[in-house]
Structure 1
Amino acid sequence: MSTPDGPALRRRLGIFDAVIIGLGSMIGAGIFAALGPAAASAGTGLLVGLAIAAVVAYCNATSSARLAAIYPQSGGTYVYGRERLGPFWGYLAGWSFVVGKTASCAAMALTVGAYVWPEYAHAIAVAAVVALTAVNYAGIQKSAVLTRVIVAVVLAVLAAVVVVILGFGDLDSARLALGGDITAGGVLEAAGLLFFAFAGYARIATLGEEVRDPARTIPRAIPIALFIALAVYAAVATAVLAELGSQTLASAAAPLADAVSAAGVPGMEPVVRTGAAIAALGSLLALILGVSRTTLAMARDRHLPHALAVVHPKFGSPHRAEIAVGVVVGVLAATVDLRGAIGFSSFAVLTYYAIANASAFTLGRKAIPALGFIGCLLLAVLLPLPSVVAGVCVVALGAVAYRLRP
């Protein structure tokens, strides 16, 4: 099977692998790192912020699943926006995805470095990017197998955290009660921070050209992965909040590690830190996978250099796109600040999902796409001002480049 620009990617993934890839993108460093900043914003409204993030993520997932069933091609919302709204909106979605998720890759790589060897975080981050780019280069099946192992390990660590806290901790249900420290803006800001931990389900849609029976598999895999992630996040967030309380959680640099120590089991802390590093590797693996597939789709349409629109004859991977993404992420991982990378990524990704919801709005059954669109815009504008300014500038730069192209 071929596309007009060369051979198509091979359809090797079933529903189980698709769910695992989605989970590998979501069950990552976000749950290890985002709870503290979210608690600082929302206070005792942390769980309300988690619920809002989940609602927006569900709307986005539903819209993405409906579109992916109709357009089972690599590229995700780049394809959906192009087909439903016009070439410019498809391009803008693809541009937002590539630049936003490239920043996410750098953030995940830096998270690996921070947990493995903080004094040499940038060097470890670059090494992680090189290693996982090589894995993806060798083909989607190897990536799916490695992701399956990573997801199993991370889920085991998170389950252990919950069991330790519930079994040995000094839990206080009063710490879960809503207090006077809650503001609407703080809860929504927390929702935006926690949304970062849900965003990986789009990776399933970007693999539409490599999934068997995509019209059936993708609409099933996306909500399954999302609801599993939500159940895990809710259990972990509730346990940690009941153990530490919102004020202590807000000041914790490594909240899950602090929670198991506070529960009287400090020997678990190295296990949790190792799990965080593995989780970040899992997210990085899936992120590079998704960005390279969108890069392939945009290169096929000549919105990016056409030389990247090549599939390896042996491995069946978009190897040139993989290498290009790996090089850019490696440079960013060597130079950027973690917080800045996450903030910029969030703005660009919310822009991507807003276009996905707008595309799904044209299919009928408009309530969910409308809610998702409004939710994406609201969370985007409530990000820290530097992130909003940088995001607007880069998205505008992409729009100008589109208008000026030959």
Structure 2
Amino acid sequence: MSDGSLGLTEAVAMALGGMIGGGIYAVLGIVTQITGAATWGAFLLAGVVASCAAYSYVRLNELVTDGGSDGGGSVTFVQSFTGNSTLAGMIGWTLLVGYLGSMAMYAFAFAEFSIALPGVPSRLAGLPLRPIISVLVVAGFVGLNLLGARATGSAENVLTSVKVLVLLAFGVCGLAYALFVSSDPVDLGVSQFTSLHPIMAAAVSFVAFQGWQLLFYDQESMANPLAELRKAIAIAIPVAVSIYVIVGVVTYNLAPQAVQRNPHTALVDAASTIGGVAGLASVGAIIISLSALFSTGSAINATLFSAGYFAKGMLSDDLLPDRAGDSSASGVPTRTLLLLGGITAAFTAYGSLSAITSFASLSFIVVFGAMSALAVTRRDADRIAAVWPVIGTIGAGLFFVLMLYHLYTAERETFYAVVLIAIAMVTVEGLYFERDRIEREIPYLEPDTE
């Protein structure tokens, strides 16, 4: 039963906050290293494929609701339209891994921007401070969620407004500086579009566009979920793409050396350049750094909350082992939160930002592509026009292949790590979901007591 606590404004804020929340701060440097001045084009391509996947989600959700369900996300769609619990569980596990990678990515970026603040050292007692900060911020938000903390819809409006306004101000002021103050022409990287680099970069950036699908887990809080979901996503994704495009152009053109030297925090150097016009270089840098901390921190909190409830739903459907938490608990089970937090902390402490981002992006590419393909199979339904799911399916497939190609040619160790993790995950999933069949087919052996 819908309680109506989320209206269209709150839904837009949640979807936009999920994308703007930390993605731009975490992936911008990696995308820029791959495709240079064509970064804006990579974000645009990723946004198009994400929009087609979102169309598929919305239409599948409407069909599921017509069938008597309360709606849902990827797992519900697979269960409803294929009846295959094993496949639904594997999609769910993949999506959960994507959430873990996203949180690890946000925690990594949080620490990078913390170190970029004036007076904060990069090492403490001879130890690198980045992993320590990343683990501590994850632990902090796990503790906060254990206390039952959650932003209300009204609070999310304020939080998202602040994040969006800071980035918009950065983008508008940066464009003005590039056009009217800088003597160098604005470089849009047009020559890059004759290569595959923008598409590879789009694949890497895909994780920055996953936040909208978290709305599908909050439908019970919407007065009119079908209409509000459709409108909120139609507004949120184009706005996020526009902001990413502007920020990508500004950062590359105002901080080209920082993009090469320290891409993870190149935004700080660009903000410093803009502020320098008014003699406020340090102020501009501090504002962007604090905005990054605010955004990545809130993204960790929101994703952890949603991932916790997503995992609880999987526990209720017997798609996760009982040891992962108690599905009958009020709110998110404590054991589930601790497990999610522990894995995230391990990812962010020992992984590189590029590896974490790539792994998370691959997870969402697989799931979003699968949902687009599922929508293609339902194209005879009145609500589904085949062209958009087809674009989403082909786009996700191309992203997946090019992402693996990029990792194999440029980051061989990351490629092998991703392949090994994928093999291990599929093996564990197969053993878990087919455990009943395995028990039936393997004869029980009586112990030899003689």
TM tier, smaller: 0.7 to 0.9
Q: 1:129 aligns with which of 135, 138, 154?
A: 138
Q: If you compute each CA radius of gyration, which structure gives the higher value, 1 or 2?
A: 2
Residue aligning to 2:326: 308
Q: State how many pairs are aligned.
A: 395
Counterparts of residues 64-143 of structure 1 (less than 5 Å): 64-69=57-62, 70-71=64-65, 76-85=73-82, 86-117=84-115, 118-119=122-123, 120-137=129-146, 142=151
Q: Which runs of 5+ in 1 are unaligned?
A: 2-8
The separation in 1 between residues aligned to 2:142 and 2:221, in whole angstroms, is 18
Q: Which runs of 5+ in 2 are unaligned?
A: 116-121, 124-128, 380-384, 409-413, 437-450
Q: CA deviation at 1:194?
A: 2.3
Residue aligning to 1:389: 419
1:156 is the counterpart of 2:165: yes
Q: Name the SS of the counterpart of 2:328 in structure 1.
A: coil
Residue aligning to 1:205: 216
1:236 is the counterpart of 2:259: no
Q: Name the SS of the counterpart of 1:153 in structure 2.
A: helix
Q: Name the SS of the counterpart of 1:382 in structure 2.
A: helix
Structure 2 length as normaliser, TM-score?
A: 0.78
Q: 2:353 aligns with which of 321, 328, 338?
A: 338
1:404 is the counterpart of 2:434: yes
- Whether the 8 Å CA contact 1:12–1:141 is kept in 2: the answer is no
Q: CA deviation at 1:311?
A: 4.6
Counterparts of residues 3-402 of structure 1 (less than 5 Å): 12-69=5-62, 70-71=64-65, 76-85=73-82, 86-117=84-115, 118-119=122-123, 120-137=129-146, 142=151, 144=153, 146-169=155-178, 170-171=181-182, 174-244=185-255, 249-253=259-263, 254-263=265-274, 264=276, 265-267=280-282, 268-306=284-322, 307-312=325-330, 316=331, 321-364=336-379, 365-383=385-403, 384-385=407-408, 386-387=414-415, 388-390=418-420, 392-402=422-432
Question: Given the superposition, is the C-alpha separation of residues 209 and 324 from structure 1 closer, same or farther in structure 2, using an over 3 Å criterion?
Answer: farther
- Whether the 8 Å CA contact 1:103–1:345 is kept in 2: the answer is yes
- Whether the 8 Å CA contact 1:164–1:260 is kept in 2: the answer is no
Q: CA deviation at 1:304?
A: 0.8
- Whether the 8 Å CA contact 2:61–2:72 is kept in 1: the answer is no
The separation in 2 between residues aligned to 1:173 and 1:82, in whole angstroms, is 55
Residue type matched to 1:98 in 2? L
Q: Name the SS of the counterpart of 1:142 in structure 2.
A: coil
Question: Given the superposition, is the C-alpha separation of residues 330 and 168 from structure 1 closer, same or farther in structure 2, using an over 3 Å criterion?
Answer: same
Q: Name the SS of the counterpart of 1:308 in structure 2.
A: coil
Q: CA deviation at 1:135?
A: 4.0
Q: CA deviation at 1:98?
A: 0.6
The separation in 2 between residues aligned to 1:143 and 1:137, in whole angstroms, is 16
The separation in 1 between residues aligned to 2:231 and 2:214, in whole angstroms, is 14
Residues 336-356 of structure 1 show CA distances to partners (whole Å, capped at 9, x for unaligned) of 433322221111111111121
Question: Given the superposition, is the C-alpha separation of residues 399 and 321 from structure 1 closer, same or farther in structure 2, using an over 3 Å criterion?
Answer: closer
Residues 39-65 of structure 1 show CA distances to partners (whole Å, capped at 9, x for unaligned) of 222233322222211110111111112
The separation in 2 between residues aligned to 1:391 and 1:172, in whole angstroms, is 48
Tell which deviates more after alignment, 381-390 or 341-350.
381-390
Q: Name the SS of the counterpart of 2:339 in structure 1.
A: helix
Residue type matched to 1:397 in 2? T
Q: Name the SS of the counterpart of 2:320 in structure 1.
A: coil
- Whether the 8 Å CA contact 1:129–1:329 is kept in 2: the answer is yes
- Whether the 8 Å CA contact 1:347–1:391 is kept in 2: the answer is no
Moved over 6 A (4+): none
The separation in 2 between residues aligned to 1:40 and 1:140, in whole angstroms, is 37
Tell which deviates more after alignment, 326-335 or 31-40.
326-335
Residues 173-192 of structure 1 show CA distances to partners (whole Å, capped at 9, x for unaligned) of 84334444544321111111
Question: Given the superposition, is the C-alpha separation of residues 50 and 338 from structure 1 closer, same or farther in structure 2, using an over 3 Å criterion?
Answer: closer
The separation in 2 between residues aligned to 1:197 and 1:158, in whole angstroms, is 15
Question: Given the superposition, is the C-alpha separation of residues 140 and 33 from structure 1 closer, same or farther in structure 2, using an over 3 Å criterion?
Answer: closer
Q: Name the SS of the counterpart of 1:95 in structure 2.
A: helix
The separation in 1 between residues aligned to 2:352 and 2:39, in whole angstroms, is 25
- Whether the 8 Å CA contact 1:244–1:259 is kept in 2: the answer is yes
- Whether the 8 Å CA contact 1:75–1:298 is kept in 2: the answer is no
Residue type matched to 2:355 in 1? G
Identity across aligned pairs (percent)? 24
Residues 65-105 of structure 1 show CA distances to partners (whole Å, capped at 9, x for unaligned) of 22233357586201111212332332121010111211221
Structure 1 length as normaliser, TM-score?
A: 0.86
- Whether the 8 Å CA contact 1:166–1:239 is kept in 2: the answer is yes
The separation in 2 between residues aligned to 1:55 and 1:328, in whole angstroms, is 31
Residues 209-243 of structure 1 show CA distances to partners (whole Å, capped at 9, x for unaligned) of 44333222222222222122112212222333443
The separation in 2 between residues aligned to 1:304 and 1:275, in whole angstroms, is 36
